[in-house]
Structure 1
Amino acid sequence: MARPDLNLLVTLDVLLEEGSVTRAGERLALSPSAMSRALARLRRATGDPLLVRAGRGLVPTPRALELRDRVRGLVQQAEEILRPAARLDLTTLERTFALRTSDGFVESFGPELMAKVGSEAPGVRLRFMQKAKKNAGPLRLGGVDLETGVVEHALPPDVLSAPLFADRFIGVVRREHPLSTGKVTTARYASSRHVHVSRRGLTEGLVDEALRPTNHEREVVTIVDGFSAALALAKASDLVATVPERHTVNLRRGMHTFELPFPAPEVTVSLLWHVRLDADPAHRWLRDCVLDVCRQETGRRTGGPPR
C-alpha cells in the first residue's frame, strides 16, 4: 500500500478553514489549478467529495465536518514538533541525569556541582556512577548522560567531548613516612615501595614512562583499580601513591603531598556525551554546570599542591 502524502493534511486543513479553493490557494501560494488538483487528490485519498458546490460557494460534506477538528489538531501538533524547543524553565525541570565519573571526581567536584544544580533546578537529580572501564556503550545506549575521563585515543564520531581541566601527578604518603621530611630526590622516590593504579591491572603507566629517562625504576608492590584505594593503602602503610592532583584533593586530606622530582606526567580530563543529546537544552545546561564547577574549583586550587 502506497504511503499517503502527509502534505495533503495541511492543504485539507486550509481548504476546510477557508471553504474556498481560491482563498486556500492564496494562503498556500498555489495557483487555482494546482489547488483544484490537490482537492482532487484529497477526494481520492478520503473517498469523499469533502467540499461540494452550493450556489456560488462550497460547503463541507458530513465527512469533512467530521475530519475538520482532527485535521486541525494533527497540523498543530506537527507544527509544534517542527519548531525549536521551548525555552528551558529550570525552576520546573524534573529530570534525573546519570554521570559516569572517574575515581575521586565526586569527592572533589560533587559538592559544588550539587549546590549549583540544586540552586538553579531543584527538581533535577544527579546519579553518580563509578566508571569500571572505558567504553562508549553506556553513552550510546542512554544509560549514561555524561562521562568524565582522559581521552587517550580518537573518539568515535558519535561521541562529543569538551576539556574540563588539566591534571598533573603528585606523590602522596602518610605524614610519618620517610619521604615526608627532607628533599625528595628521584633516587629516594624510586627506592620506596609503591602502589600503582590501573583499572586493567597493568604494572606500569604514565608515571613509569616519565621516570624511565632518569634511569630509575619504581618498586611497585601492589596494584589497585582506583585512586581512593591507593590513597587508603598509602595512609595506612609506608607505600607511596602517585595520583592526579585535582582529582584527589579531598581524598588525600591529612596526608603529605610532594612534587615529583622529575617532570610530572600531565593529563587532560574531559567531559563526554553522545551526539543525540548535544542539542537538548537541559543536557546543555548540565554540561555548562559541570564545566563551570570544574573550572572554578581548579582555579581556586592553583599554586601547587596543599601540604
Structure 2
Amino acid sequence: MSRTLARLRAATGDRLLLQAGRSLVLTPHAEQLRERLPALTREAEALLKPPEYRFDAATLEQRFVVRAGEGFIDLLGAALMDQINGTAPGVQIRFTPKPDWDAQALRDGKIDLEIGTVKTSAPEMLTRLLFRDRYVGVCRVDHPLVSSVGVSLEKWLQLGHVLTARLGEESNAVDVSLAAHGLQRKVSITVPSYGSAMQVARRSDLLAVIPQSCVGNTFAPNHAAANGLHWFELPVSTQAFNVSAIWHPRLDHDPAHRWLRAEVLAICLTAYPQHTVSGKRSSSL
C-alpha cells in the first residue's frame, strides 16, 4: 500500500492521505477525486468490457477482400455469392489475384481471407482445412491420347506439357516425383495459373496437370467437358494436398469474419463432399 500511495502521490502531485493522530485523513484534492472515482470506474469498465451485440447477417453491410486462385473463383465464386445473397444481401466479395503466398497483405489488413494451400512462413496465421485435393491430367477432348486404354508413363512423357508455376515457384509435386526416378517432362510453355493451363491444353496438343477440384464439383459436375477438356489419372504418383482458409488472428473473433469463414466452409462441404475431411483450426503453419 505504501508503494501504491507513493506512486499516486507522484502522479497527482498531492499527498492525498495524511496521518491525523491515530487515524488517516484525505486531503481536499483526494476528497474531490473520491467523488469522481465511481463515475470514472464505471466508464473504464464499460470501455474495457467486450461489446454486447447480436450479430445479424441480414443487416450486415460490408465488403470482404478474398484472395483465391482462378479455380476457386471460376467454380465456386457464383455459388458462394448465391449462398451469401440469401442471408446477407448487403455483403460484397472482392476476389483478388493470388500471385504468390506472401502473408503481408493479410497482416496489413488489405486481404480479409485467403483460400488455398498453406505455403506462408508467417507463424501467426490461423488456418481451417476446407477440403483435400489431388492432381490429375487434362488434354483436349479430341486429343489422340483419349483413345488410348489408360495413359502410360512412357506415352505421357513423350508429349509436350504446360507447366503451371507462379513467380518464384521453382518446383511442383509432379516434377519432384518424376525427378526421384530420374525422369523429366517436356515442358513447352509455363503459365501462372491453372485456368490458363486448361485453356492452353484445350487449344493445343499439350497436356496439363491441374487440381481435381478444377475439373468440376457438385455445382459444375461437367466443368472440364464443358471447356473442351478430358481429364485422366496421372501415370505418376503425387501426394494429396490441403486447401485451407487462411486469416490473421486479428480477425479471429470478429463476428462478421467468423460468419464469412463459415459460409466459405459450407460451400466447400457442398461442392466437394467426397474430398472434405474434419479439420481443426491451427496457428502452426
Change (3 A) 1:3 1:277: farther
Q: Which residue of 2 aligns with 1:217?
A: 184
The alignment covers a number of residue pairs equal to: 250
Task: Give the conservation status (yes or no) of the 8 Å contact 1:158–1:275.
Answer: yes
1:160 aligns with 2:149: no
For residue 168 of structure 1, what is the amino acid of its counterpart?
R
1:266 CA drift (Å): 1.9
Q: Which residue of 2 aligns with 1:193?
A: 160
Change (3 A) 1:92 1:215: same
Task: Give the conservation status (yes or no) of the 8 Å contact 1:227–1:248.
Answer: no
Q: Give, in whole Å, the separation in 1 of the partners of 2:139 and 2:113.
A: 33
Task: Give the conservation status (yes or no) of the 8 Å contact 2:140–2:229.
Answer: yes
For residue 296 of structure 1, what is the amino acid of its counterpart?
T
For residue 94 of structure 1, what is the amino acid of its counterpart?
E
Q: Which residue of 2 aligns with 1:139?
A: 106
Q: Which residue of 2 aligns with 1:184?
A: 151
Q: Give, in whole Å, the separation in 2 of the partners of 1:112 and 1:77.
A: 45
1:297 aligns with 2:271: yes
Q: Which residue of 2 aligns with 1:99?
A: 66
Task: Report the secondary structure of 1:272's partner residue.
Answer: strand
Q: Which residue of 2 aligns with 1:54?
A: none
For residue 108 of structure 1, what is the amino acid of its counterpart?
L
Task: Give the conservation status (yes or no) of the 8 Å contact 1:170–1:264.
Answer: no
More off after superposition, 200-209 vs 74-83? 74-83
TM-score between both structures, scaled by the size of structure 1: 0.72
Deviations 1:61-114 (A, max 9, x none): xxx8xx99xx58x94585165134412011111111100112311112112211
Task: Give the conservation status (yes or no) of the 8 Å contact 2:174–2:236.
Answer: no
TM-score between both structures, scaled by the size of structure 2: 0.77
Task: Report the secondary structure of 1:176's partner residue.
Answer: coil
More off after superposition, 156-165 vs 271-280? 156-165
Change (3 A) 1:83 1:216: closer
Structure 1 gap segments, 5+ residues each:
5-32, 51-63, 303-307
Q: Which residue of 2 aligns with 1:283?
A: 257
Task: Give the conservation status (yes or no) of the 8 Å contact 1:210–1:263.
Answer: yes
Q: Give, in whole Å, the separation in 2 of the partners of 1:195 and 1:100.
A: 24
For residue 240 of structure 1, the aligned residue among 195, 207, 215 is: 207
Q: Which residue of 2 aligns with 1:260?
A: 234
Q: Give, in whole Å, the separation in 2 of the partners of 1:263 and 1:233.
A: 24
Change (3 A) 1:177 1:39: farther
Q: Give, in whole Å, the separation in 1 of the partners of 2:63 and 2:208.
A: 35
1:270 CA drift (Å): 1.1
Q: Give, in whole Å, the separation in 2 of the partners of 1:239 and 1:223.
A: 11
Deviations 1:267-305 (A, max 9, x none): 211110000000101100110111111121011689xxx
**Quick check: which has more Rg, 1 or 2?**
1
1:215 CA drift (Å): 4.5
1:120 CA drift (Å): 1.3
Q: Give, in whole Å, the separation in 1 of the partners of 2:11 and 2:100.
A: 46
Task: Give the conservation status (yes or no) of the 8 Å contact 1:203–1:223.
Answer: no
Task: Report the secondary structure of 1:222's partner residue.
Answer: strand
1:148 CA drift (Å): 1.2
Task: Report the secondary structure of 1:140's partner residue.
Answer: helix
Task: Give the conservation status (yes or no) of the 8 Å contact 1:192–1:239.
Answer: yes
Across the aligned residues of Structure 1 and Structure 2, the Cα RMSD in angstroms comes to 3.1
Q: Which residue of 2 aligns with 1:170?
A: 136
Q: Give, in whole Å, the separation in 2 of the partners of 1:208 and 1:179.
A: 20
Higher RCO, Cα 8 Å, sep 6+: 2
